[in-house]
Amino acid sequence: MNLIDFFDKSARLYPNRVAAIFEDRQWLYRDVLDLATRIGNGLRSADVSADTKCAVLSRNDPIAFISMLGILKAQGVWVPLNPSNAKSQSMHILNAFDVEVLFFEKEEEDFARAAKEECPGIKLFLCVNGPSTLGATVEPWAASQSPEPQPSPWAPEALCWLRGTGGTTGLPKGVMNTNRNFETMMANFRATLSFDEAPVYLACAPLSHTAAVLSMVTFGMGGTLIIHRKFEAQATLKAIQARKVSFVYLPPTAIYSLLSQPNVHEFDYSSLRHFIYGAAPISSTKLHEAIDVFGPVMTQVYGQTEVPTSVTYMSPADHLSEDGSVNEKRLLSCGKPAPFSRVALMDDSGKLVPPGSIGEIVVQGGLVMKGYYKNPEATAEVSTYGWHHTGDLAYQDEDGFIYICDRKKEMIITGGYNVYPLEVEQAVLSHPAVQDCAVVGVPDEKWGEAIKAVVEVKKGFSLTEDELLAFCKAKVGSVRTPKSVDFIDELPRSGAGKVMRKEVRKHYWTAETRNV
């Protein structure tokens, strides 16, 4: 099936079911289908066809998301842009990815105006939530288009999503995801997620990232999408109770924010079946706390844009031991290979490593991207030995669970010892006064690299360097204990909410002639 087919099938089966809710407005499946069809036909009339790149620059907004469905109906390629990203990065994507159509929210009109000057390839501008001098407003424009559905051929290898990678080390690469990639991903989620009835999904993470993928999973299951403009801890907790949300996705930093709310125990979370987390490693201490607060519903997914969202999966039951208690060791795992994902661990020579040995996570099969857009060198680099290389080092235990050690290129070599930042971060994050942290290697005359922890302290708590170092030494020993701690008000985060460890590290190496 093409990606759009999953929505279309639910719209045919459940036309009168609520598909989306935003603030005080709701859309039935038949409403979304009509608007998406009209948008698709309007784009076809503007010469959008297979392989035409159409970008959407908006915070979470139902019309912006339905516009994405319209792009797919026109057989175009969706290029998601996050307003939280640097404007220079978004402008680069528009040009480098050959974007011809730009949907934008009214709040980004100044950027769209600049794009009209700097991106000559863009032929059509559409505003999703208000009038603009640059182009038509989506809903009235769509109302004048044909409501008749247009047939689309099954195209498993056709592009449907072209997304820029994080871009923390240079300009972003364009990941080419196909209908087959998303068909495999949908199969993984349909095989693993379990609901008593049609799911209610709370989209409070950016719909330009994983939240969009899970929204399509929701539509594929005939569920209801609750859209929040952005993540706000109190609004999220209230919505889970009021809307009887059955699943939600958030990155670890947002989960930490929920857990720090003084009234987090006062809400009813009994409707939750899956609280999905991913995108970055999570503190095992805070994960245990989340299980205590939200119940046995925590669900991990691991993937990358190149292998979307479902390389591995860890169910709520996997977080527990046979007696129902929390399995402390298992909390450090990213789960087992998902049902339709071919996953292995590989050494630098291309040999697969046995259980217990550390290797790089590699993936084959329908989940793997088509490649990087107009970048065959980068594509070849991550595709050696016939596998997609994730850059994540891990080992697999005797029960098949995979444990990520760290990013391959972020290992710290200090005094001849290899130290993985992730295990040090786990120790730092287990301190009750720590909200979040990043552990990096910094230049040091004696050690080559010295371990430094950069820490956010919880509001209302105090913490000294000596206290934290003593705490870490008791947890991980002297070799892995940071040599120093810097306290910071807010760590740098990506548009998806991930702490950008590379950006933290770069701050300490700017005066060096070497970077290792």
Which residue do the tokens 């068909």 mark?
183
51 forms bridges with which residues in the sheet? Answer: none
Domain borders along the chain are: 25-142+158-179, 231-407, 411-509
Q: Give all strands of the β-sheet with 434-444 in edge-to-edge order.
A: 434-444, 448-457, 484-487
Question: For 296-316, how does the pLDDT look when each residue is reduced to its tens digit (9 = 90+)?
Answer: 999 999 999 999 999 999 999
Question: What's the one-letter identity of residue 389?
Answer: H
**Residue 511, pLDDT score:** 58
Which residue do the tokens 């591995």 mark?
312
- CA 489 from centre of chain: 24
Kindly give the interhelix angle for 252-259 and 233-242, rounded to the nearest 10 degrees.
80
| Range of weakest confidence among 282-296, 303-317, 363-377, 485-499 | 485-499
* Confidence bin at 468 (pLDDT 50/70/90): very high
* Confidence bin at 410 (pLDDT 50/70/90): confident
- CA 333 from centre of chain: 18
- The reply to whether 231-407 shares the fold of 25-142+158-179 is yes
The structure's pTM equals: 0.85
For 199, residues 6+ apart whose C-beta sits below 8 A from its C-beta are: 193, 218, 221, 223, 224, 246, 247, 273
**Residue 281, pLDDT score:** 78
Which pair of tokens denotes residue 292?
């205590």
- DSSP structure string for 385-414: GGSEEEEEEEEE-TTS-EEEEEEGGG-EEE
Q: Which fold has domain 25-142+158-179?
A: Rossmann fold (3.40.50)
Q: Which CATH code for domain 411-509?
A: 3.30.300.30
Of the options 3.40.50.300, 3.40.50.1220, 3.30.1360.30, 3.40.50.12780, the CATH number for the domain spanning 231-407: 3.40.50.12780
Element (H, E) at 136: strand 136-137
Rounded to whole angstroms, the Cα distance separating 386 from 193 reads: 30
CA separation (Å) from 235 to 191, 229, 241, 251, 359?
A: 31, 10, 10, 16, 41
Q: Are strands 25-28 and 18-22 parallel, antiparallel or unpaired?
A: antiparallel
Q: What percent of the chain has pLDDT over 90?
A: 82
- 211 within 8 A of 245, measured Cβ to Cβ: no
